Amino acid sequence: MGGNGNRIVIIGAGAAGCFCAVEAKRCHPESEVLVLESGPRPMVKLALTGGGRCNITNTFGTAGDLGGVYPRGARLVRRLFYSFGPSDTVEWWENEGVSLFAQDDERVFPKSQDALQVVRTLERLMKELGVKLVCSSKVATVRKDDGFVVHTVTGESYPCAAVVLTAGGLSDQVLARMLPEGVSVIPTVPSLFTFRISDESLRSLMGLSVPEAALCIPGTQFRSSGALLLTDWGVSGPAVLRMSSYAARYLSAEQYRTPLLVNWTGMSESEIRSCMEVVSCGNPARMIGNAPVAAIPERLWRYLVQKAGIGPEQRWAELGSKSINRLVSVLSGTELQVTGRAAFKEEFVTCGGVSLESVKANTLEAVNVPGLFFAGEVLDIDAVTGGFNLQAAWTTAYVAAHSLL
C-alpha cells in the first residue's frame, strides 16, 4: 500500500464502518486502521434496529426479485452477493459466537434477542485486532494529495493511503463538500417512514391492525402490501414502510401530501364480494356492524361500514345491491389523505447518496478517485424493512475491505 504510510481511514462507526474495520484489519494486519465517528459512541443505530433485537439479515427465501426489496441498488447488490451474501453473513456471525435464528417471516435475529450482543462483538473484535476508534470526530473534507488527507471540523488532519466512507444519513450537500471531485452524488431524501393522515376518525382507532392490506398511490405505479397498523398520527406497519421506500422520491417531490388508496383485505373486489356473501348468508339476521368481513377488527369494520353510508344496526338481509357495491368499494379502495411523514423509530434510511455509476461494481472503489471506497448507506442503495438494509451494509463493507490494496 503506497501513499502516506499504511493507514486506512474509515469514516463512520456504524454497522458498515465497524464491520469494514474488522475485515480491513484482518486483510491488512500490518496497516493502521483508524475509524472516525462524528457521534459520541459507535453503532448507536445498530443497537436500536429490530426494536433492540437487531434484525441482522434475512434468509431471502421469499424475496424473489431483489428489486422488490431493494428499490435502489438491486442490480449491484445481486452482483456483490457472490462475494458475501446472506448465508456468508450468518456463517460470519456464528463463527464470532453470535448464534442466529430465522423467524417464520424470514427475518434473522440473534438468539439472544439483544442487539447489544452484535454491537459488543464488533467492539471486541476491533479492540482485539488493534483498530483505532476516535469518536466525536466529525469529518469535514477528504482531499487527494499523494494519498489522502482527511480533515475534521475541529482541525485534525489524518494522512492516509486509503479511505472508506461508510457514514450513512449524510445530506447530498454535505457529501458534495466532503468528497474530492470526480464523485457523483444523488440527492438524498428520507425513506422508511410512516404516514400522517388527516382523518381524525380513523386516527381514533389507533392500535388496530389488519394483517394483509394493499396500498397504492393513485395515478402512479407505486404499490405495496402487508400488515397495516393504525396509529394516533395515521398509518404504519410493513405495508406503509414499503410504500415509503418505493415512493421515496415521489413523496418528497409532493412534500409528503398525496392521496392513498387502502384495500383493507388485500383481496380483489370479486373475492371481497364472495366473502360478504358467505357472511350474509350465514348471518342474515345479524347487524352488519357486529359481523365483520375477513380479518378486519370490529371497530375498524364499523368505521368502514359507516363510511359506505350504511348504518351498523342494519341487518345483512336488509342490505340492497347498491349498499353492497358501496361497501365493496370502501373495503377495496378507501381513499385517505397523507398530510406528512413521521419517523420510524427503529430505523431511518436515506434514499440517494454516492451514485453507483461513480464506483467500480466489483470493488466499490471510486472510478475517478483511486483509493477511495464506499460502503453502507452512503451508497445509493436502500431497502425495505426485514434485515435487507443491514445485509447491504455487511456485504458492501466486506467487499470494500477486501478490495483495499
Distance CA 258, CA 113 (A): 38
Is the backbone of residue 259 left (phi > 0), alpha (psi -120 to 50) or beta? Answer: beta
Distance CA 241, CA 235 (A): 10
Q: What is the pLDDT of residue 294?
A: 87
Q: What is the pLDDT of residue 344?
A: 63
Q: Do residues 174 and 43 lie in contact, with contact meaning Cβ atoms separated by under 8 Å? A: no
C-alpha cell, 358:
461513480
Q: What is the pLDDT of residue 110?
A: 98
CA dist 223 → 158, 192, 248, 251, 344 (Å): 47, 15, 12, 13, 20
Q: How many CA atoms lie within 13 A of 183 on its CB side?
A: 31
The DSSP bridge pattern shows strands 107-110 and 132-134 to be: unpaired
Q: What is the pLDDT of residue 146?
A: 87
Distance CA 79, CA 361 (A): 8
Average pLDDT per 10 consecutive residues for the chain, totaling 405 residues: 73 98 98 97 93 95 91 97 98 98 97 98 98 98 94 97 95 95 95 94 96 97 97 96 96 97 97 93 92 92 96 92 95 97 71 97 97 97 95 98 93
Looking at this protein, which amino acid is placed at residue 162? A
Counting beta carbons within 10 angstroms of the beta carbon of residue 195, is it exposed (0 to 12), middle (13 to 18) or buried (19 or more)?
buried
User: What is the pTM assigned to this prediction?
Assistant: 0.92
138 φ/ψ angles, rounded to the nearest 5 degrees = -85, 125
DSSP 180: P
Q: How many CA atoms lie within 13 A of 163 on its CB side?
A: 28
Q: What is the pLDDT of residue 1?
A: 41
Q: What is the pLDDT of residue 2?
A: 40
Distance CA 373, CA 32 (A): 16
Angle at 61 between CA 167 and CA 70, to 5 degrees: 35
213 φ/ψ angles, rounded to the nearest 5 degrees = -90, 160
Where does 47-147 show beta strands of DSSP type E?
57-58, 100-102, 107-110, 132-134, 139-144
